[in-house]
Amino acid sequence: MPVHNADITAAFESIADLLEIQGANPFRIRAYRNAARTFSELSREARELLAAGEDLTRLPGIGADLAGKARELVDTGHCGLLDRLRKELPPAVTELLHIPGLGPKRVKSLWHDLGVQTVEQLVHAAAAGRIRQLHGFGEKTERSILEAVLSQANQKRRILRSVAAQYAESLRSVLATIPGVKQVTVAGSFRRQCETVGDIDLLASASNATEVMQRFTAYDEVSDVLSAGDTRGSVLLKSGLQVDLRVVDPACYGAALLYFTGSKAHNIALRRLGHKQGLKINEYGVFQGQTRLAGTTEASVYESLGLPYIPAELRENRGEIEQAQSGHLPQLVVRTDLRGDLHAHTRDSDGHDTLEAMAKAAQELGLSYLAITDHSAYLGVTHGLDAARLQAQGEMIDRLNDTFSGFTLLKGVEVDILEDGSLALSDAVLARLDVVIASVHSHFDLPRTHQTERLLRALDHPHVTLLGHPSGRLLGERAPYDVDMERVIRKAAERGCFLELNSQPQRLDLNDLHCRMARDAGVLVSINSDAHSTFDLANLDCGVGQARRGWLEKRHVLNTRPIGALRDMLKVSR
């Protein structure tokens, strides 16, 4: 596996960036930047120099330590220091480096001084005027950063994946019925289960590409044909959604599917890995010289690189390739792993169906338990339950449970977290329930410190089981409130309570990075539908997709436990 000077350069630049974010010694940082420059300008490959017995310390700015790391990269393809630095930083922090105007020094200040780890938190901090207070920023820089983020966000209209699915699946089904079509798959960010998508990428394999393209451009919902060639075309649907179609030969379908699924960063990393092995990887297959080694399936492409199949949801270049190489890819949670749902509403508050209807629908989906968690009587718009109505509902649940076989309704509530972090129901009422979801439904604009302390105090409450939709966001409508999620996750770990992954498509809250943070902190996540009708129970599929993007396995998810084990865990958490 030949390592090129460009690989050494990239590794040293990454080390310098990560060290600077961590606040390491400036001289050490500068040494890595100078070393990166040296290898980028070196006319001979470092591996050739080492093979010839040359001493790399003879190169400008390369001491024994740097020479050792260069040799380590050449010999193994890895650098232990770089691997360690990547593990020490939150996954999203380095993504801030991609924002114009934010170099390592500024990312370091944002992270250490303001606790900003994600782009969403960056926007909140800028909007609140907190960035300008940092040394070396100022009001103009703060405005420029906010404009850069918003510009990136507005470059392309994005819609909820759940909305795009309606259009994508209909068109996919139409194309799949064409004679000679062997496979049709929705690729791109849609297949990676991203929360929102900018457009739809369809990939088909067929014996007659011309007919497929004709049917595609003549599809009833097409408003404009943007382009139409022999094997590729692009249309605009009446909904405003752009759909791109590519028709390929079955022999290269797997390679094309991998390529068009992305992400770009994942694909680039694969190509670099292939290059080190003397292979060329593109949308047509894996080649050694003119010989195609793989490409019919995605698995064959990964196998040609010595890797196991990497699920689409993980393909973001966030460590999945390294985990695949070491044999430690997660066995991602699947929908059938879920035994129950711990967040559902009935018409007793703001839901649309009865207790009986919700229970029946849950059983039909193969669930063995469902927690009824109607709202507490705090916000009038939800027709929430007070102590008396909650008691009456609990008695009804007891009667229904006597009629079930192999299914259990759990008594619960979604209680409002008040501005000061207290709860909208008394301890005496909450103590009688199986599940208490504490959620924020008001005062979204509190300052970061206040909002964080509010959630921490709520989690300290001995009867709280779950923190509901932890960031409060509504995709495309309301940004997450400004909160230190790292502290919130640590508090959940200390308390032994759990975090919700709310599966409503407009929420999908926790986001994927926070799911991974919870997993790494040992906090179990509950994938809940937040159903307000029998139909909404299907939201669980969306939540599982988000959980998979967050690297969650069955063992990381609370409601994969059978009812007996779940009850024991709920008691311990309280």
Start-to-end Cα distance in the chain: 53
Residues 317, 320: Cα–Cα separation, whole Å: 6
Question: Residue 487: beta bridge partners?
Answer: none
Q: How many other C-beta atoms are found inside a 10 Å radius of the C-beta of residue 464?
A: 24
Q: What is the dihedral of CA 59, 104, 86, 313, to 10 degrees?
A: -120
Q: How far is CA 102 from CA 21, 93, 140, 437, in A?
A: 11, 11, 14, 38
In tens digits, the chain (574 residues) has pLDDT values of 457 777 788 889 889 988 888 888 989 999 999 898 888 766 678 888 899 998 999 887 899 999 999 999 999 988 999 999 888 887 667 778 778 778 888 888 888 888 888 888 888 888 888 888 888 888 888 888 888 887 766 556 788 898 788 788 889 999 999 999 999 999 999 999 999 999 999 999 998 899 999 999 999 889 899 999 999 999 998 778 899 999 999 999 999 999 999 999 999 999 999 999 999 999 999 999 999 999 999 999 999 999 999 999 999 999 999 999 999 999 999 999 999 999 999 999 988 889 999 999 999 999 999 999 999 988 666 688 999 999 999 999 999 999 999 999 999 999 999 999 999 999 999 999 999 999 999 999 999 999 999 999 999 999 999 999 999 998 877 889 999 999 999 999 999 999 999 999 889 999 999 999 999 999 999 999 999 888 889 899 999 999 999 999 999 999 999 999 999 999 876 6
Report the pLDDT value the prediction gives residue 167, as an integer from 0 to 100.
82
DSSP letter at 43 equals S
Distance CA 111, CA 129 (A): 16
Beta carbons of 468 and 426 less than 8 angstroms apart: no
Peptide bond into 162 cis (omega under 30): no
Distance of CA 275 to CAs 6, 122, 383, Å?
12, 36, 62
Predicted pLDDT at 154: 58
Tokens at 288, concatenated: 């050694």
Name the pTM for this structure.
0.76
pLDDT of residue 1: 46
Give the dihedral sign, CA 158/268/262/200.
positive
Distance CA(327)–CA(312), nearest Å, equals 17
Set out the domains of the chain in order of their start, with CATH numbers. Answer: 5-154 (1.10.150.110), 159-248 (3.30.460.10), 253-325 (3.30.210.10), 335-573 (3.20.20.140)
Number of neighbouring beta carbons within 10 Å of residue 323: 17
Give the whole-angstrom CA distance, residue 537 versus residue 337.
15
